[in-house]
Amino acid sequence: MKNRSPLLAAAVAGVFTAGALAGWSAPSVLHAATAASQSAASPAAAAPATTTSAAPPAANQSAIIPLGMAPNYHAIVQENRGAVVGITVSGDLKVSNQSPFGGLPFGNGGDDNGNDNDNPLWQFFRHMPGPQQGRVPMHAQGSGFIVSSDGLILTNHHVVEGAKEVTVKLMDHREYKAKVLGSDKTSDIAVLKIDAHDLPTVRLGNSDKLGVGDYVLAIGAPFGLEETATAGIVSATGRSLPGDGAVPFIQTDAAVNPGNSGGPLFDATGAVVGINSQIYTNSGGYQGVSFAIPINLAQHIEQQIVKTGHVEHGRLGVEVQTVDQSLAQSFKLGAPQGALVAKVEPDSAAAKAGIKAGDVILKFNGTPILDAGALSVQVSGTAPGQPATLEIMRSGKEMTLTATVGSAAHAQLARNEQGGAPATHLGMSLRPLTPDEQQQLGVPGGLYVQDAQGRAADAGIQQGDVVLSVDGTPVKSVSQLRDLLRDHADHVALLIQRGDARIFIPVGLS
């Protein structure tokens, strides 16, 4: 979970878990990294849908926004209410061994002792018993909207992340089991498919045309209250948030609360221009600042998911910072704008293009780069393998460089192979034991389990376990483990050391 004060909270309606917290709900934090890594299983990607997003034109836009008057919100709601859906998910959440709240999505990660004492709910529940480690059942709610009449639905990634079962409820109370065609954590977009036809759809607008002060309307299910409409204006566009540099958020003052996540944000004509995603809050509830993902970006992500089942993001391989006035003067810039390169990763797209630390990137493919966040948005939205023209300032001189954009996924895989957080298709994040750990355990080698999800977690493997061997063959590296797994079709027996005990755990491979 990303921990911020005030909390940057996802607008998920709530998570209901078994055990100590039964019957209580609490808002989930957006891009909850802890919750993400603790999900029991991810939905299998289904075959791409044959119908892409299409939306009929508005029947009578003049009825929605009369000239010189505020939008006809009643008309917007009537036109679109049938295409807004409620989403309920169920799955598992992993809880930490420090406290009942360490792995739950309303926790803040805790203090040095593992206590979530900055969380407003901590004072209510800190004396209650809870599971020390393992997984508990989870149920959560969110919103979504239908973009094609054959059942294609857009929502947030964090709404369905870790779900074993997803249920979509229509306005007329019909319910369908949904397949997750694909989900992208970077953009926080997920595409669902239900087996239905002749469904009402929303009309998609152009988020690039939004301006500060424009009217907007949100529809969703805050706190599970279905078909709730709230209105406001656009407070800012292209907003870059910490940890979410790939999304140029639309900031609004339309009331968005837990449960609105994944729901549509409409403009004054009744067209969808965004997907409600986050709130900035001290309390977990709405405090006047909400953020939505631009629909133009969401459509780009949707098209990739429908076509391939996954999303690829571009990557340059640089660490950058925004240029302020003092930096602009130091680097001989006419204005405080651009992305200052602080570090270039070896063998990255930037390194191969000749970019150096100290360069200031002014334009990317002709688009002015006003700050570091703007560069992240442009690069992430560029397909890996595509050429990109970068206009830079180096030592007071303007230069133009050409880079072949790399792949964010490939870069992560390379970091994993170098020992950052190696992962296997079993759902384990592993690293080799250090010499001191080997001495303490009395073993010549092994792999420490940093996290266990999917098949590994289902088999009973836990964080803190040490993998010693695969079907009797000792393992010392992640690459060796992968090679050994390739020789097995159905099951593999892993020798695990847990504390002072050693046990064989069979894990299914298919």
How confident is the model over 116-126, as a mean pLDDT? 38
Higher per-residue pLDDT: 213 or 491: 213
Same-domain status, 392 and 457 = no
Please give the pLDDT value at position 332: 83
Same-domain status, 375 and 460 = no
Whether residue 69 is predicted with pLDDT greater than 50 in this model: the reply is: yes
Residue at 33 is within a domain: no
The strand pairing partners of 389, in sequence order, are: 402
Same-domain status, 272 and 158 = yes
What is the span of the domain harbouring residue 457? Answer: 421-508
| Residue in 31, 139, 157, 158 annotated catalytic | 158
Query: pLDDT for 251-298, tens place per residue?
Result: 999 999 999 999 999 999 999 999 999 988 877 788 889 999 999 999
Q: Would you state the torsion angle of the CA atoms of residues 61, 63, 67, 73, taken in this order, to the nearest 10 degrees?
A: -100
Decide: 381 and 405 in contact? Cβ < 8 Å. no
Same-domain status, 178 and 284 = yes
Of the listed ranges 60-74, 186-200, 455-469, the least confidently predicted one is: 60-74
Residue 248: give its domain's CATH number.
Answer: 2.40.10.120
Same-domain status, 144 and 194 = yes
Mean pLDDT taken over the chain: 77
Global pTM value: 0.64
Task: Look up residue 217 and give its two tokens.
Answer: 């309307």
Task: List alpha helices for 394-453, DSSP H.
Answer: 408-417, 435-441
Distance between CA atoms of residues 379 and 408, nearest Å: 10
Query: pLDDT for 325-380, tens place per residue?
Result: 888 888 888 899 999 998 898 889 999 999 999 999 999 999 999 888 889 889 98
| Residue that is last in its domain, among 409, 435, 468 | 409
| Residue in 25, 261, 348, 429 annotated catalytic | 261
Task: List alpha helices for 255-339, DSSP H.
Answer: 295-308, 325-330
Decide: 415 and 440 in contact? Cβ < 8 Å. no
SS (HEC) of 86-128: EEEEEEEEEECCCCCCCCCCCCCCCCCCCCCCCCCCHHHHCCC
> Is 42 annotated as catalytic?
no
Query: pLDDT for 84-111, tens place per residue?
Result: 999 999 876 655 444 333 333 433 333 3
Residue at 28 is within a domain: no
Q: Which amino acid belongs to residue 100?
A: P
Residue at 67 is within a domain: no
Task: Look up residue 55 and give its two tokens.
Answer: 């939306």
Residue at 31 is within a domain: no
> Is 139 annotated as catalytic?
no
Query: pLDDT for 287-334, tens place per residue?
Result: 889 999 999 999 999 999 999 888 888 989 998 888 888 888 888 888
Domains in the chain, number: 3
CA 124 to chain centre: 29
Please give the pLDDT value at position 508: 76
Please give the pLDDT value at position 462: 87
Same-domain status, 137 and 225 = yes
Closest CA to 199 of 177, 171, 178, 229: 171
Residue at 466 is within a domain: yes
For CA atoms 98, 104, 109, 110, the dihedral sign is: negative
Whether residue 420 is predicted with pLDDT greater than 50 in this model: the reply is: no
Same-domain status, 362 and 291 = no
Residue at 101 is within a domain: no
Please give the pLDDT value at position 494: 87
Whether residue 467 is predicted with pLDDT greater than 50 in this model: the reply is: yes
The strand pairing partners of 451, in sequence order, are: 429
Phi and psi angles of residue 482, each rounded to the nearest 5 degrees, phi first: -60, -45
> Is 188 annotated as catalytic?
yes
| Residue in 188, 267, 371, 465 annotated catalytic | 188
Same-domain status, 340 and 266 = no
Same-domain status, 347 and 399 = yes
Q: Interior CA angle at 25 toward 24 and 29, to 5°?
A: 145
Please give the pLDDT value at position 428: 82
Whether residue 232 is predicted with pLDDT greater than 80 in this model: the reply is: yes
Instruction: Indicate the angle between helix axes 408-417 and 478-486, nearest 10 degrees.
Output: 110
Q: Interior CA angle at 317 toward 335 and 328, to 5°?
A: 15
Residue 244 pLDDT level (bands cut at 50, 70, 90) = low
Task: Look up residue 365 and give its two tokens.
Answer: 């493919």
Residue 358: give its domain's CATH number.
Answer: 2.30.42.10
Higher per-residue pLDDT: 51 or 162: 162
Same-domain status, 366 and 431 = no
